[in-house]
Structure 1
């Protein structure tokens, strides 16, 4: 355990070629869960918490850590389970998502494993729509469930996905080139981006991971259709099962038939984001989630550039 607690900060900078490091932890029971180490700032034994009156039931309290006050969310309660008990013996995983820092209360932290994104798979289709998973994998012959943290945060503290009136009034797109390809494994993120683009009058095609997206684009080319003739741009998450956004971007940019397709990496990897990696894979743009007006402005700007070039 000490090795995990001591090493997390030193390992958050890993950005590999379609690889990730997964911090495994437990809630109530024996099921193992995972979170990408790249999102983790620190792991600590749970400190004394101050309870906030009238707060969301998932928020167990706040803690003063490293000079800032951080909300502590019970991951078991947030995913429909019973709240964790005896929290003095629990741990908190301090994370940064979407430019915010929060702590997740867990029963215990196991270890860190290094995996290829190809070993990470979407949840089984029979699992329904109400689960809190973005992916599953197997470690030592045991199922590891990777939680949809963006959905959890959206339920605790919903972010507005609405555009300003000035942007909405820009009107419907009448251009032939009016479709945006959205690639994201989080159902919440997909819905947010789709709503933003559709509010501007754009059509959308939505896929769950980089492997699906690349297959879709290559299928278009095989059928004699250029992705550049259909899509104004690709908006892709970075963390996705099967194939991450870095690998998807590099695959697009290395294909002569798609190299000029505009790719925006749109991710909750804020704060520790590796700009050098974005440049290495050839992404055209990067935006931290989720700022609907800024996203809309960049989509409209890309349309203007394509129209000017045409």
Structure 2
């Protein structure tokens, strides 16, 4: 069963048309009906790629940050899209979630110069409930965040706010959820469309080692700061992130030195879409703290960006980090699924 929200893009387009045009568009629906994924299985899909060489738009990049290139992804499979979070298992293999209630896994492909050129071995599977069934309710499967911890994954959902663990990761078609994770504050205080957009495991050797760090998108306390939590580890508790300039946090990743990198997005009719990367000092993240940090990157609609929602870091042998960012196209013909890559040099 296809969850609410994953309808064919063409159908949505047809609804914006009138008369004969709408009818003509709907005639083509038989060629774009989403595939049915049998229970316990995964669906291999074809994904096409168009290379992005130039970010354009004169974005602001801090010293040490370089744009390496990117790809625009598309697929004839209507289930593809709505990317909310991405995590890399190694230098090539990735795992992600769609906010329409699906897993995605695959491998990135690079050209002779090491730049992103495409993705291979892409497969989808529905996020199952505890009984092993696929949900038909968007309210129950609005997956927005993902963290990997060995053989299990933490997935954060909004609308019905919760974070649950899934296993086994070796066979996502059969992965089942556990009971929800306990938090240091009542999840009823979270904004209906502004819950846990960021889940990330603290790195080994850091002061938060063993903890899950969870950050909401736009759920504010009485002082206007964003709710966040440290779950487990030696410094468990709640903290806050200071919002800046109407940007909303959409994902996060820890850097090898223990600092936390936030991916942020802004959208308005007046200014269009914006993207930002903000670096939080790792030592500042502790219970009762209100954290903030320096801006490493900012771009607006003039650049090759979209609704950027997923971020992960791939450490390199020379101490640098490759940052990969993905966008959520909302299954809209007006948006794109992008995968952009940056290099962050080691701090001197």
TM-score calculated relative to the size of structure 2? 0.25
Which has more strand, going by share of residues?
2
TM-score calculated relative to the size of structure 1? 0.27
Which has more helix, going by share of residues?
1
